[in-house]
Amino acid sequence: MPLSAIPPIQGVTATEYLPSVQNVQETDGSAFASVLTGAVDNVQNLHGVSNELSLKAVTGDLDDIHDATIASTRASVALELVAAVRNKGVDAFNEIMRMQA
């Protein structure tokens, strides 16, 4: 719906009240999807490195145990971040659906 179609409230039109909204461009959401896909791929890579270093630690091939610990923590934190972003996205979607009902 264009801003000009919104009836004025107390004599103020939507275009006067919300001038910055006119410059908002609609997208198809592909940018968000590509960022989220990249984040998931990064988590998978971090998890793979963590598994590899953990295996080396168990077999005794790892020189420094700190590397395995750091890799494991990075993978864990990245997974928590992606899960939190996903949960916020689902919450936002559900809130939008409630508004439409």
Quick one: pLDDT band at residue 9, thresholds 50, 70, 90?
Answer: low
**Is 38 within the bounds of a domain?**
yes
Does residue 72 lie within any of the structural domains?
A: yes
pLDDT band of 4, cuts 50, 70, 90: low
Residue 13 lies inside a defined structural domain of this protein: no
44-89, pLDDT tens digit by residue?
999 999 999 999 999 999 999 999 999 999 999 999 998 998 899 9
More confident residue, 71 or 21: 71
Count of Cβ atoms closer than 10 Å to residue 46 Cβ: 19
Q: Is 22 inside a domain boundary?
A: no
What is the rounded distance in angstroms from the CA atom of residue 25 to the CA atom of residue 43?
Answer: 31
| Number of domains forming the structure of the chain | 1
Q: Is residue 17 part of a domain?
A: no
What is the domain extent for residue 91? 29-100
Do the Cβ atoms of 68 and 57 come closer than 8 Å? yes
Residue 33 in any domain: the answer is yes
Confidence of residue 28 (pLDDT cuts 50, 70, 90): confident
Percent of the chain scoring above 90 in pLDDT: 48
42 lies in a domain? yes
